[in-house]
Amino acid sequence: SQLAEENSWALSVHEGESVTVNCSYKTSITALQWYRQKSGKGPAQLILIRSNEREKRNGRLRATLDTSSQSSSLSITATRCEDTAVYFCATDYGSSGNKLIFGIGTLLSVKP
């Protein structure tokens, strides 16, 4: 079963708008990661947020983590066409490491 999953299959916005992708998970974690996968490429990490952190930023990206509700969000401001990709959240198995469980992914389309 999926231990991490995004809450939307697909989102569509226009350039310049902001968008948020949500993720929920079902076990205790040491960290949650957000990855982006563009067409024909492998996933690339965007942000890693640890269980003792509530927010992390990376340029136009902002990730939040709520361990009480076991959820995370990734917000993108001032979206660009090149932000079009599949966004995944991924969690570890707590202290076991060596294995990431990826969510089902959210396809974000940014239109001109």
Binding site residues, other proteins, CB under 8 A? 31, 33, 37, 40-45, 48, 86, 88, 92, 97-102, 104-105, 107
C-beta closer to other proteins: residue 11 or 104: 104
Strand locations in 1-112, DSSP E?
A: 4-6, 10-14, 19-25, 31-37, 44-50, 55-58, 61-66, 71-76, 85-91, 101-102, 106-111
CB of 48 to other proteins, least distance (A): 6
Q: 16 vs 94, which CB is nearer to other proteins?
A: 94
Minimum gap (Å) between residue 49 Cβ and other proteins: 11
User: If phi over 0 gives left and psi between -120 and 50 gives alpha, with beta otherwise, what is residue 70?
Assistant: left
Q: Could you tell me the smallest distance in angstroms from the CB atom of residue 105 to other proteins?
A: 5
Return phi, psi of residue 103, to 5°.
-70, 180
For other proteins, the closer CB: 22 or 30: 30
